[in-house]
Amino acid sequence: MTENELFKRINAIAQSCDYKIYVVGGFVRDKILGKPGKDIDFVVVGDAMKFATVLKKELKIKTLVQYPRFGTFMANYKGYSLEFVNAREESYDFNSRNPVTKQADLLTDLSRRDFTINTLAMDISEENFGAVIDVYNGREDIKKGIIRTPLEPGKTFSDDPLRMMRAIRFASRFKFEIEQDTFEAITKNAERLAIISVERIQDEFNKILMADVPSFGLRLLEECGLLKQFLPEAIVMKGVEQKKEFHHKDVFYHTLEVIDNLAKTSNKLELRLAGLFHDIAKPRTKRFVEATGWTFHGHEVVGERMARAILKRLKYSNEIIDYVKKLVRLHLRPMALISDEVTDSAMRRLLFLAGNEFDDLMILCRADITSKNPNRVKRYLGNYEYLLKKVVEVEERDRIRNFQPPVNGQEIMAIFNCKPGRLIGEVKKFVEEAILDGEVENDHDACIKFILDNKNRFE
Ligand code: ATP
Ligand code: MG
């Protein structure tokens, strides 16, 4: 079913209820940008909840998700995801972002929307099918690439502070500029973000991180003071110091470059988060050592702890937290392997520790190279390439990445003629270490023999 067929059908159903219905917001904006999507928002001038019942029956939709309190409902239909909302007017209480709403006409509804580029409505009635209603010059702002609020920006952001995050999200997605008064109002109201739930902040932040060039939005977040509201630890990374002839590069801008590099090779949110946190503890662990210069000893360990605490505070899932912790903890390891004489056992240990995240760890390490010296970049990349080749060899031989102990507890109990207990764990660990050190092959029979040969150690 084409969009137009869908719109005509929906309009006919609305007409049968004596309601007017329009397509609004993101869909109209994206269509003008030449990227029509499958997420379509409608505004119903009438009773959206009554309309829900009729629409469900007419289109034979199995399930609708309804929020009568907000006068909105959602449905999936023929590959489209449709959202319907009552045309409404909102009034806000200063201490909360849950507005009191009442039904209103289309134009009032459009005026409460966040940005001019999102205020466009498309008529889908028979008489005016396709006509765009553009009260706030949204089309012009789309053409010029400008984010601005339809009404006074200070009021818009104070009413619903999440709009400040949305402004930056849209700016980074489309590479649009935030108009000056609008940006100033964000700067003035940044502290109001405190009344927004962390889940909604996280959601917008993720979208900013997922832009093609994440640094675009991250810079804006920093400039207007929003980043400080939910991620003050990142601001501390800003700044460089010079002592004697030693200066270190600005960790914040280095971090942004790393995230941009990651965005070029991967679409994983969690990998971008790992990029964001890989050097988070550098400010805290920074020391100046005479003759050597700046050091950041242990920043991967402290960083892992900080990443965990911050991500927990921002309510990321445990899977994401574990992933980021692992990458932060291990991000120096591959480089360390290169500077040493690479032994097979060191590589086996790294594979063992990184497990399924090994490939992502290597992506992070490559992205971490932000030197402006092309020879140096080439040398580092070459080093990693060499390391990877060696790792593939070790991997093929030893199957360490998804390590499963080759000997099970039953077998150990049989060898020692013992009951379940501490000994089993000790023997398993002993075998695991021996495999990693290359003393025994990662093979069932070889390991059984190895245990038998070393049996007296445990008696
Ligand atoms: P996306 O492509 O991300 O879906 P969108 O513009 O469709 O972008 P939605 O969050 O789906 O954004 O919201 C749909 C429309 O509702 C927006 O275009 C905007 O007009 C309006 N809107 C959404 N959230 C707000 C808000 N917090 N304040 C004011 N208007 C909003
Ligand atoms: Mg939408």
Give per-residue pLDDT as tens, 349-362. Answer: 888 899 899 999 99
Q: In which element (H, E) is residue 392 found? A: helix 374-398
pLDDT exceeds cutoff 80 at 107: yes
Model confidence over 130-163: pLDDT tens digits?
Answer: 999 999 999 999 999 999 999 999 999 999 999 9
pLDDT exceeds cutoff 80 at 308: yes
| Predicted local distance difference test score (pLDDT) of residue 290 | 83
Task: Quickly state the pLDDT bin for 313 (edges 50, 70, 90).
Answer: very high
Task: Evaluate the CA torsion angle 178, 180, 182, 186 in order and state its sign.
Answer: positive
Tokens of 129: 């099918």
Q: Give the span between the Cα atoms of 432 and 340, in whole angstroms.
A: 23
Model confidence over 276-306: pLDDT tens digits?
Answer: 999 999 988 888 888 888 888 999 999 999 9
Bridge-based pairing state of the strands 177-178 and 146-147: parallel
With a 6 Å cutoff on the Cβ, whether 160 touches ligand 1 is yes
Going by C-alpha positions, the residue among 239, 255, 258, 256 that lies closest to residue 247 is 239
Pick the CATH number of 146-230 from 3.40.50.300, 3.90.1150.10, 1.10.110.30, 3.40.50.1360: 1.10.110.30
Residues 272 and 209: beta-carbon distance below 8 Å: yes
pLDDT exceeds cutoff 70 at 85: yes
With a 6 Å cutoff on the Cβ, whether 114 touches ligand 1 is yes
With a 6 Å cutoff on the Cβ, whether 25 touches ligand 1 is yes
Residues 262 and 272: beta-carbon distance below 8 Å: yes
| Predicted local distance difference test score (pLDDT) of residue 339 | 64
**Residue recorded with tokens 């964000």:** 186
Model confidence over 436-451: pLDDT tens digits?
Answer: 888 888 889 999 999 9
With a 6 Å cutoff on the Cβ, whether 71 touches ligand 1 is no
| Straight-line distance from the first to the last Cα atom of the chain, in angstroms, rounded to the nearest whole number | 75
Q: What is the mean pLDDT of the chain?
A: 92
pLDDT exceeds cutoff 70 at 111: yes
Going by C-alpha positions, the residue among 292, 286, 403, 291 that lies closest to residue 351 is 403
Residue 294 neighbours by CB under 8 Å, 6+ apart: 241, 243, 246, 248, 286, 287, 288
Which class does domain 1-144 fall in? alpha beta
Going by C-alpha positions, the residue among 414, 406, 410, 416 that lies closest to residue 445 is 406
Task: Quickly state the pLDDT bin for 393 (edges 50, 70, 90).
Answer: confident
| Predicted local distance difference test score (pLDDT) of residue 218 | 98
Residue 261 neighbours by CB under 8 Å, 6+ apart: 275, 366, 367, 368, 369, 370
Q: Where are the domains of the chain?
A: 1-144, 146-230, 261-398, 409-458
Does 1-144 match 146-230 in CATH topology? no
Atom of ligand 1 nearest to the CA of 119: 20
pLDDT exceeds cutoff 70 at 185: yes
Model confidence over 399-436: pLDDT tens digits?
Answer: 777 778 889 999 999 999 999 999 999 999 999 889 88
Best probe residue, ligand 1, of 86, 112, 114, 186 (max atoms within 8 Å of C-beta)? 114
Rounded to the nearest whole angstrom, what is the distance from the C-alpha of residue 217 to the centroid of ligand 2?
A: 20
> Amino acid identity of 345?
S
% of residues, the chain, pLDDT over 90: 70
With a 6 Å cutoff on the Cβ, whether 172 touches ligand 1 is no
Say how many residues make up the chain.
Answer: 459
Rounded to the nearest whole angstrom, what is the distance from the C-alpha of residue 30 to the centroid of ligand 2?
A: 10
Q: In which element (H, E) is residue 430 found? A: helix 422-437
| Predicted local distance difference test score (pLDDT) of residue 340 | 58
Neighbours of ion ligand 2 (CB under 5 A): 26, 39
Rounded to the nearest whole angstrom, what is the distance from the C-alpha of residue 163 to the centroid of ligand 1?
A: 9
pTM for the complete prediction?
Answer: 0.88
% of residues, the chain, pLDDT over 70: 98
